[in-house]
Structure 1
Amino acid sequence: MSMNTRTGTGFTHIDPALYAKAFELLDPAPEPIAPAAAASAAPAPVPVTLAAPPVRLTGAVEKTLTDALTFLDTHGWAKHRLIHPEGARCSIGALRAAAGTRNNAYRDAGNLLLDEARQQHGKQWESIPSWNDSHTGAQVRSVWEAAIRRAHHMNI
């Protein structure tokens, strides 16, 4: 049994220049417009920004403070001890957990946190643990959040 094989395609020949013109209509190449011609054109065009806005990098201090507060939210907040048996920590313990080591970000975050604590609760606080142990969770959280905002605005 033989198969009927058509050799003729039945397609009409298309001029390649016609394809080129069709693609040009679909995706016209941008043509520079002279400033004078643009000024005389209809209403001023709205500029379109294709580039994404620059990504703002989080500073080491802001990251340390944010990570420490997240740690407190996750594991719990404690008074009178660095680490509670169930895993909760005081403010300084959370800072240590977030920083990993006592690096510059740890020290700067601690100084900013203590400064914010003194602004909100009085200049008598000499250390984060003494302040932490003398205030409620809501008061402590308010200081953490304010310190994070300051670090963000200071871009540190």
Structure 2
Amino acid sequence: MTTRTTTHFTPVDQDLYTRAFQLLDPTPEPTAPAAHAAPTPASLIAAAPAVHRPGAVEKTLTEALAFLDTHGWAKHRLIHPEGARCSIGALRAAAGARNTAYRDAGNLLLDEARRQHGKRWESIPAWNDNHTGAQVRSVWEAAIQRAHHMNV
């Protein structure tokens, strides 16, 4: 038995392979370093700082303070006829319901009030009604910062 091994291949253009591989892997061949090349989008993404996403407690506290800034702060009543609220009223407005974020934000706010104004405060309304607007705002801001740092 005789087997023929002669082939009749058409010669291939070597530049065709080079172009095909460049299409498959578009990374350019290394060249001389360019003077201060513009950053690539990938390097910009890697260098970008992480974006903070506030947790439910921080968000509730921030929205409640914004509510106080917009509608006003009140003493000795949950809701003033003109729309101002006490601290607990602002928390309720921001949370929308007595949910976990509402409870945890209230606990953090009361804890901060005790840190700044003494351990004797049993509730947010009692603390709110016995302090000035500036003192109350200071506690709100500190509570928001704590929630931010605790990432809650």
* 2:102 pairs with 1:106: yes
* 2:132 pairs with 1:139: no
* Matches of 1:140 and 1:32, distance apart in 2: 64
Relative to structure 1, the CA distance from residue 138 to residue 50 in structure 2 (aligned partners, 3 Å threshold; closer, same or farther) is same
- Of 91, 95, 101 in structure 2, the residue corresponding to residue 95 of structure 1 is 91
Q: What SS does structure 2 have at the residue aligned with 1:50?
A: helix
* 2:51 pairs with 1:61: no
* Matches of 1:87 and 1:98, distance apart in 2: 14
Relative to structure 1, the CA distance from residue 125 to residue 32 in structure 2 (aligned partners, 3 Å threshold; closer, same or farther) is farther
Q: What SS does structure 2 have at the residue aligned with 1:69?
A: helix
* Matches of 2:118 and 2:139, distance apart in 1: 12
Code of the residue aligned with 2:28 in structure 1: it is E
Quick one: percent identity of the two aligned structures? 80
The answer for unaligned runs of 5 or more in structure 1 is: 1-28
* Matches of 2:119 and 2:125, distance apart in 1: 14
How much does 1:148 deviate?
0.2
How much does 1:57 deviate?
1.2
- Of 113, 116, 123 in structure 2, the residue corresponding to residue 120 of structure 1 is 116
* 2:44 pairs with 1:50: yes
User: Normalized against structure 2, the TM-score is what?
Assistant: 0.72
* Matches of 1:127 and 1:105, distance apart in 2: 17
* Matches of 2:118 and 2:86, distance apart in 1: 19
Residue of structure 2 in register with 1:72 after alignment:
68
How much does 1:30 deviate?
3.7
The answer for unaligned runs of 5 or more in structure 2 is: 1-25
Relative to structure 1, the CA distance from residue 32 to residue 80 in structure 2 (aligned partners, 3 Å threshold; closer, same or farther) is farther
How much does 1:55 deviate?
2.6
* Matches of 1:147 and 1:32, distance apart in 2: 55
Code of the residue aligned with 2:86 in structure 1: it is C
How much does 1:32 deviate?
6.0
Code of the residue aligned with 2:79 in structure 1: it is I
Q: May I ask how many residue pairs the two structures share in their alignment?
A: 123
Q: What SS does structure 2 have at the residue aligned with 1:64?
A: helix
Q: What do residues 12-62 of structure 1 show as CA deviations (whole Å, max 9, x unaligned)?
A: xxxxxxxxxxxxxxxxx54365xxxx9xx8xxx9x8622144332111000
* Matches of 1:32 and 1:64, distance apart in 2: 54
User: Normalized against structure 1, the TM-score is what?
Assistant: 0.71
